[in-house]
Amino acid sequence: MTIWTCAACGIEHPDTAQPPAVCAICSDERQYVPAAGQRWTTHAELAAAGHRIHVEQVETDLLGLTTEPELAIGQRGLLLRTPGGNLLWEPPGHLDTDTVEQLRGFGGVDVIAASHPTWSARQSPTATPSAACRSWWPPPTGPGSAAPTPPSGSGPAPTPCCPA
């Protein structure tokens, strides 16, 4: 099956043989469907087109993650490194294997926060969406998939990423 990514907003949709009829984000009244219509892409197409994540130091313990060439709305993710754990804010819509390895090299990601739900659980199977985001969060699919579970330990709680 194929993970379909909306070319307009960058959200991934569940694995299916054919792309979804509509994007859950773009069809919401707060967003829009592009005038040219709904368009879908895949990780393989993005990789073939040369999409990669550029990681740059913004300041001490703050890294910027930008998809190049630009994808969807062109958001920039930020990785904030702290002694208590690392926070990934506004993850880009496409994280390739090299970027995942880079993030692991920086200490991994303990908490993910987003201002709106354009990020997928597939990019971090241990990520936990806040209660307000669960209806937008695509379920994991494929062999060995499991629903996201809350992180263990005394780390910070997930940050709400969308309106209640």
Integer Cα distance of 99 and 127 in angstroms: 17
- So what's the pLDDT on residue 58? 96
Residue 142 lies in a domain: no
Residue 16 lies in a domain: yes
Residue 55 lies in a domain: yes
- So what's the pLDDT on residue 65? 93
- So what's the pLDDT on residue 92? 80
Domain of 81?
2-123
**Residue 60: pLDDT above 60?**
yes
pLDDT digits (tens, 9 = 90+) for 121-156: 444 445 556 666 666 555 554 444 444 433 333 344
Domain count, the chain: 1
Integer Cα distance of 82 and 80 in angstroms: 6
Residue 112 lies in a domain: yes
Indicate the SS3 state at residue 44.
helix
pTM of this structure: 0.66
pLDDT digits (tens, 9 = 90+) for 109-119: 988 877 765 44
Collect all residues with Cβ–Cβ distance below 8 Å to 107 and sequence separation of at least 6: 81, 86
Per the model's pLDDT, the better-predicted residue between 163 and 134 turns out to be 134
Q: Cα 79 to chain center, whole Å? A: 13
